Amino acid sequence: MKLNELRDNFGSRHRRMRVGRGPGSGKGKTCGRGVKGQTSRSGVAIKGFEGGQMPIYRRLPKRGMRKFNQDTVVEISTDRILHYFDSGLLENGIELDENILYAKGVLSKKGMKVKVLSGTSSINREITLKVWSASSKAKQMILDSGGFVLESSSV
């Protein structure tokens, strides 16, 4: 077998149907579209029409809802915050809020709401947080270490 002898399998390629080319072609006059009516015209596609039966998109119930102005809440554990302090990304003595976390690269977008969750390790430094929300266990851990938590969701 040579490259110039390669051919497609018989029937794998079809010639384009030339419609409207006389009665001898078998597709003359109405071009296989029948006579008159909506579907004989160009640019008409009746999507979802089931012959007058209730279409499936109306038979099935609507499910779920998504608010278009939904706020993005980011959950950060106390372990993660301690890791940022240990790595030098965050400094001691500053009040941490969403703007500072965004400026330091902890948050990827501005205006994200932060919720602090409790981690497994104990907190060994005073942390001052001004966040959207904090779990009760995380808040207690921070208060026990001498820190302070101000939640804006409760204000």
- One DSSP character per residue, 76-140 reads EEHHHHHHHHHHTSS-TT-EEEHHHHHHTTSSSSTT-EEEEE--SSPP-S--EEEESEE-HHHHH
- pTM of the predicted protein model: 0.54
User: Which of 2-6, 85-89, 115-119 has the weakest average pLDDT?
Assistant: 85-89
Question: Whole-number mean pLDDT of the chain?
Answer: 88
**Domain extents in the chain:** 73-151
The pLDDT assigned to 62 comes to 87
Of the CATH numbers 3.40.47.10, 3.100.10.10, 3.40.30.10, 1.10.3210.10, which one belongs to the domain with range 73-151?
A: 3.100.10.10
**Listed ranges 14-18, 89-93, 123-127; the one with the highest mean pLDDT:** 14-18
Give the tens place of pLDDT for each residue, 51-105. 889 999 899 998 888 787 878 889 999 898 888 888 888 888 788 888 888 888 8
